[in-house]
Structure 1
Amino acid sequence: MICSLFLTELFLLLSVRSWLAHGTTAPPTYEHTDPLTGTTVQCDRCPPGTFLRASCSSDTKSDCAPCPEGSFTELWNYIGHCLRCGICGRNQVVKKECSADSDRQCECKQGYFYRQDYDMCVRHSECPSGHGVLTRGTAETDTVCRICSDGTFSDISSADHNCTQHQSCGNAGMKLVLKGTIWHDNVCAKVKDGAAYLREIIPAFFIHHKIKIKRLRRIVHKLLPDDVRKQEGTSELSFSELHSRISSWVSSATPMQIRQLPAILIKMRASHAGEKLQNILNAIDKNLSKECHNGC
């Protein structure tokens, strides 16, 4: 019954579109049977922002009333009540408030966009490490990412961060010990221990080399001091929390602990990541050794 009434009202509202398209200046009408005389009369429809309180008769005009607050009509009509204003859905905000002659307009809130195949607002995609934002997402479109060009990098996942230029070691009076990639900066030398330079890229390394969360939890668990390990545990930590724990560990780790990290990864069955990290450390040590031969 409710569905039938809704469809009838919808038909009545849409039926005036052809009148609007032809630009007629006189109010559109509808046929009504006068209950007193039984004759068919042409009644004026009610303008947008109003509804039909009483139909016309042979000697009276249509009685139109303003839409109460919280309701509207957008077209000339002869429905018996105004339509209820729409409500914004999940992750939406009001773009334009409802008025007597127009419904409430909604749009996705900051950080979200309307995805048509889901018929809902979803969070903007984050560009992974090694990629920067080409076009920021809007309420209607998702983030557009691009791979970092030569000489630039990004070591975070972000929906608004662009690639950053590699630092110039020469400008800082230092030597290049590890050339930057799309996911980490140039590493420049001042001290002799290669572990000090490996430390700089370890947080970015774990972000870029996606290790499965269960294995990453075991790795972080292994890195934590015994007292912290007993108190906190890692079984429920998310990726962001795990990366935060790694950054904390890196900031306090000794050079020897940094050098042992590749072996720990291999032991925890993250062999590919462990071997890659060891290769990076070997490259740093090689470059530092070369600098020493040239006058360290």
Structure 2
Amino acid sequence: MIYISLFPLVLMTSLHVPLARSVAMTFKDTDPITGKTLECDNCAAGTFLRAKCTATRSSECAPCPPGSFTEIRNYIRKCLRCSVCGNNQREKTQCTAVKDTDCECKQGFYYKTSYDACLRHSECPSGQEVMTQGTAEEDTVCRLCPNGSFSSSPHTNCSRHQVCSAGTETLLRGGAWHDTVCGACIQDQGKDGASYLRQILPTFFIHQKIHFRHLRRIVRNLTPLAGHTHAAVTNGATTYDLGQRINDWVEKATPEQIRQLPAILKKSGANGASERLENKLTKIEANLKRLCVGNEVDNHIIAV
């Protein structure tokens, strides 16, 4: 349950209703004519004090108008205004004369006490999975993918790395955010390291969380290769739009164009991502070369 704010209690206090006496049946007041101390009846919840008591008349109470309330016996001169649910909240229970509006976080949000606000549930990034699903009171709890598994997007659970099938070997060991890349020496079919690197590129750009400014530069530097104008792909584009542009480019790019990616990232200011991508490509090509050299030796032995 979410208490919208402490405003009603603060207001009650400011109107001289001590919390210690909030359930008292009476309150003391001074008769304006005689100067004597009077003990007046408090008004019931759902009402307010219209007129104080006198030596000859009891307290006069009146019902709270629509849109206002009092939750306890009181002697305030005006009912409290019903609260309105805030951002990312929804009404759980309507306000009544004796109870304020009860709000709760909308679906996909949780209440953070220190902010007194509903915040969106965290998304587990690539390389992690949901350990505990978020509720209206608690944020989502994530955990790292166990060794030997990966998750490639914020909406997937960890999956085991694939085991390379017969006739193929590991070109790039699986990480927390990408699967194992398997391959074989098939240079005669024109498939090189850049072709295998293509498999992890969409996930790579998600995992790196490249700054929007650099991401926009990357797309601008990719567009001449894709045959688009700069303005057509970057004006008013969101991070999601830019990511989609990159994925479209990756799908259509030639191995030679993919080989240029580390240089394009560096030119765009994403130096760290450039270095990491270059390292991935280097590992794939080193293992591919090892396989091809091994095949040459095997073929030579067979021929002899």
Smaller-chain TM-score bracket: 0.7 to 0.9
Q: Deviations over 1:7-53 (max 9, x none)?
A: 6664326353464xxxxxxxx12235667887655332221112233
> 1:80, 1:104 → 2: CA distance?
21
**Residue 75 in structure 1 maps to residue 72 in structure 2:** yes
RMSD value, Cα: 3.5
Corresponding residue for residue 50 of structure 2:
53
**1:66 and 1:267, CA in 2 relative to 1: closer, same or farther beyond 3 A?**
closer
Moved more, 93-102 or 228-237: 228-237
**Secondary structure in 1 matching 2:234:** coil
User: Matched residues in 2 for 1:67 and 1:267: separation?
Assistant: 68
Partner of 1:219: 218
The CA distance in 2 between the partners of 1:142 and 1:167, in whole Å, is: 29
Number of residue pairs matched? 281
**Greater alpha carbon shift after TM alignment, 85-94 vs 236-245:** 236-245
- Which residue does 1:150 correspond to in 2? 147
Q: Specify the SS of the correspondent of 2:229.
A: helix
Q: Which residue of 2 aligns with 1:203?
A: 202
How do 1:74-153 residues align onto structure 2 when only pairs under 5 Å count?
A: 74-153=71-150
Q: Is it true that 1:261 corresponds to 2:266 in the alignment?
A: no
Aligned to 2:176: 182
In structure 2, C-alpha distance between the alignment counterparts of 1:197 and 1:86, rounded to whole Å: 58
Q: Report the alpha carbon displacement of residue 259 of structure 1 after superposing the two structures with TM.
A: 2.6
Query: Where does residue 245 of structure 1 map in the other structure?
Result: 245
Structure 1 residue 117 displacement after superposition: 4.3
Whole-Å separation in 2 of the counterparts to 1:212 and 1:81: 53
What percentage of residue pairs aligned between the two structures are identical? Answer: 49
**Does the CA-based 8 Å contact 1:166-1:180 persist in structure 2?**
no
Matched with 1:23 is none
Q: Aligned pair in 2 of structure 1 residues 70, 272: CA closer, same or farther (>3 Å)?
A: closer
Rate the CA distance shift 1:65–1:251 in 2: closer, same or farther, 3 A.
same
Q: In 1, distance between residues paired with 2:182 and 2:268? A: 30
Among 28, 31, 35, the residue aligned to 2:28 = 31
Q: Which of 10, 14, 36 is matched with 2:19 structurally?
A: 14
- Tell me, which stretches of 5 or more residues in structure 1 are unaligned? 20-27
Letter in 2 for 1:180: G
On the 8 A contact 2:12/2:76 being kept in 1, the answer is no
Query: Residues 166 and 186 of structure 1 are in contact (CA less than 8 Å); yes or no, is this contact kept in structure 2?
Result: no
**Aligned mates of 2:81, 2:210 — CA distance in 1:** 51
Partner of 1:224: helix, strand, or coil?
helix
Deviates more, 1:142-151 or 1:162-171: 162-171
Seen in structure 2, the aligned counterparts of structure 1 residues 13 and 172 have a Cα distance that, compared at 3 Å, is: farther
- Please tell me whether the aligned partners of residues 13 and 75 of structure 1 are also in contact (alpha carbons under 8 angstroms): no
Partner residue of 1:280? 280
- How does the TM-score come out when normalised to structure 2? 0.74
Letter in 2 for 1:154: S
Superposition deviation, residue 129 in structure 1:
2.8
Secondary structure, aligned partner of 1:244 = helix
Following superposition, the deviation at residue 202 of structure 1 comes to 0.7
Q: 1:58 offset after TM fit, Å? A: 5.4
Cα distance in 1, alignment partners of residues 166 and 236 from structure 2:
42
Q: Could you report, residue by residue, the CA deviation over 1:213-239 in whole angstroms, capped at 9, with x for unpaired residues?
A: 333322211111464224514265443
TM-score by length of 1: 0.76
Tell me the distance in 1 between the aligned counterparts of 2:36 and 2:55.
Answer: 8
Which amino acid in the other structure matches residue 255 of structure 1?
A: P
Question: Cα distance 1:86–1:172, how it changes in 2: closer, same or farther (>3 A)?
Answer: farther
In 2 relative to 1, CA 74–18 (structure 1 residues): closer, same or farther, beyond 3 Å? closer
- Measure, in 2, the Cα distance between the counterparts of 1:63 and 1:99: 21
Counterpart Cα distance in 1 of 2:243 and 2:194: 19
Q: Structure 2 counterpart of 1:244, which letter?
A: Q
